[in-house]
Amino acid sequence: MLELRIAGRDFGQPVLGEVFATIERGDRICLLGPSGIGKTTLLNAIAGLDKSVPDEAVIGRDKLRVGYLFQEHRLLPWRSLDANLKLVGASDQEAESLLEQVGLSGYGHYLPDQLSLGMARRAALARCLAVKPDLLLLDEPFASLDPVMAGELKTLIAGILDSCPKMAMICVTHDGGDAEILANRLWYLDGKPARLQWDDALAEPGLVDGLLGRLRDLALPGS
Amino acid sequence: MKGQAGRPPLWSYWVVLPSFVLLWGLIAWLLQSPLLPTPLNVLDTLIRESATGELWHHLGATLGRVVVAFILAMIIGTAIGIVMGRSPTTNALFDPLLVLLLNLPALVTIILMYVWFGLVEVAAVMAVVINKVPNVAVTVREGARSLDYRLEEMATVYEFTRWQRLREVWVPQLFPYLMAATRGGLALIWKIVLVVELLGRSSGVGFQLHMAFQVFDVAAILAYSLAFIAVVQLIELAILQPLERRSSRWRQPEAAHA
């Protein structure tokens, strides 16, 4: 579905090294790695937001619909939730049912900044789904949420993944536990410049911790 | 908000201006000179001019020019400001020209327009537009530079059309800058329009001031000036302030919610 041939990315100094990978429909990838290593940089490159990464480096993206859950909600603060969803192509009814799906029914007329952090993130997730994405990109979806809200959101996302078996997902996270629940494939980004150190299918529960443990034991170059 | 707690009492707005009018009346009454009419004289002139229809005719002519020049200047200036704010190369190319135009005296533009194109309406309005466009462009450029890159990225991911990007993402962010340009613009434009009328038109408040100046009719000068100040204030109260309140509602979510 999608093939990455990213040659690298500099911000004055090299951050991202070569990244080669293919993503198939139904892949649920958790992208793990130390903070500041370039996980969001890679996600932006895949989404086509990085102008210095040529389009040819992400083969097949032009045919895909992408939903991107940023770390901030990035809803238009001057538009209601309904209007935000309709702007990306949802009909009245779709907007209503999407909000219901993320547990925000009745909040359609609210402005994004009237919501709590957790609610705003769920509203932003509804917008991701409104484009009926082939590829769902999640940038630390559980960051700065309290454990209860994070747990609810995790259940919600897991449910969405189950109901869309053809959708692919890449989720940036620090937490191996997230990968246990959400992922069927694990990427580990590390090194200087950062490369995918590990790209593995996750078949059985408990594997993530094992993998992460082994990765920590390895002396990775530059880390 | 800090300013809300220290809001001044209502009467404080109504002290200086009335006192000033009283003082003016007193001095005029003491001097008894035709060069300084009393407030009542001015009011009298205002009523007389208004009754003959002269006032409305000239006020309308000036207002028409202000509106046309204002709309043109805002459209052209906003477009230039957005392009210059978004593209560093374009900015570098045209910035020297912008600085030149900003420092060009209004009077020079007016004279040149009349000399090159004759004493016609188009030349008059163009002179005003040329004077105002650089101010609008500079203000809007500031806004275009500060557009939130996070919303830009969002608009890219969700494939907003150009029109959606302009209308939904840029204009709301540029709104405070557009309002600043509008405020400053209205005040500047109507003053330039008066000069344009004084130099080369046979209608409008500027023209009337010119006639009154030739016969030292100070009462008429003050009457026409006050009438137009009132019109501009009316525009501010009836159009600009409600517009600003409506468009900044989203900034106070709790107020919008109530």
Quick one: pLDDT at residue B5? 60
Residue of chain B with shortest Cα separation from A115: B253
pLDDT digits (tens, 9 = 90+) for B85-96: 999 999 999 999
Cα atoms found within 13 Å of the Cα of residue A146, Cβ hemisphere only: 3
Chain B CB contacts of A47 below 8 Å: 157
Query: The tokens of B87 are what?
Result: 């593209």
Residue of chain A with shortest Cα separation from B170: A76
d(CA B74, CA B136): 6
Closest partner residue to A114 (CB to CB) among B153, B154, B253 is B253
Q: pLDDT grade, residue A211 (50/70/90)?
A: low
Note whether B134 and B98 are within 8 A (CB): yes
Burial class (CB within 10 angstroms; exposed 0-12, middle 13-18, buried 19+) of B210: middle
The overall average pLDDT reported for chain B is 90
pLDDT digits (tens, 9 = 90+) for B157-215: 999 999 999 999 999 999 999 999 998 888 889 899 999 999 989 999 999 999 999 99
Cα atoms found within 13 Å of the Cα of residue A79, Cβ hemisphere only: 23
Angle, CA B255 vertex, CA B253 and CA B257 arms, to 5°: 70
Cβ pair A68:B160 closer than 8 A = no
In the block, residue with structure tokens 């454990």? A147
Predicted-complex ipTM score: 0.86
Whether A223 has a pLDDT exceeding 50, the answer reads no
On whether the B53-246 domain is CATH 1.10.4080.10, my answer is no
Whether B136 has a pLDDT exceeding 80, the answer reads yes
| Domains of chain B, residue spans | 53-246
Q: How many CB atoms lie within 10 A of CB B68?
A: 16
Query: The tokens of B139 are what?
Result: 């203000």
Q: What share of chain A is helix, strand, coil (3-state, %, to 5)?
A: 40, 25, 40
Cβ pair B151:A76 closer than 8 A = yes
Q: Give the residue from B120, B127, B42, B138 showing the smallest Cα distance to B84.
A: B138
pTM of the model: 0.79
Q: Give the residue from B204, B192, B42 showing the smallest Cα distance to B108.
A: B192
Whether A108 has a pLDDT exceeding 70, the answer reads yes
Note whether A122 and A103 are within 8 A (CB): yes
CA distances A45 to A135, A137, B242, Å, are 14, 11, 44
Query: The tokens of B20 are what?
Result: 């000033």
In the block, residue with structure tokens 């100046």? B213
Q: Which residues of B10-45 are buried (b: 16+ CB within 10 A; e: fewer)?
A: eeeeeeeeeeeeeebeeebeeeeeeebbbeebbeeb
Q: What share of chain B is helix, strand, coil (3-state, %, to 5)?
A: 85, 0, 15
- Which residues of chain A are in CATH 3.40.50.300 domains? 2-64+134-217
Q: Which residues contact B152 (CB under 8 A, 6 or more apart)?
A: B169
Whether B46 has a pLDDT exceeding 70, the answer reads yes
Give mean pLDDT, residues A194-219: 65
Chain A CB contacts of B256 below 8 Å: 111, 114
Note whether B119 and B200 are within 8 A (CB): yes
Burial class (CB within 10 angstroms; exposed 0-12, middle 13-18, buried 19+) of A117: middle
Whether A222 has a pLDDT exceeding 50, the answer reads no
Cβ pair A111:B158 closer than 8 A = no
Instruction: Enumerate residues 86 to 145 of chain A having a beta carbon within 8 A of any beta carbon in chain B.
Output: 87-88, 110-111, 113-114, 127, 131
To the nearest whole angstrom, how far is the Cα of B88 from the nearest Cα of chain A? 16
- Poorest-pLDDT segment among A30-39, B62-71, B113-122: A30-39
Residue B150 contacts A where some CB pair is shorter than 8 Å: yes
Cβ pair A74:B151 closer than 8 A = yes
Note whether B157 and A74 are within 8 A (CB): no
| Mutation choice for A interface testing from B158, B244, B249 by most A CBs within 10 A | B158
Q: Which CATH architecture has domain A2-64+134-217?
A: 3-Layer(aba) Sandwich (3.40)
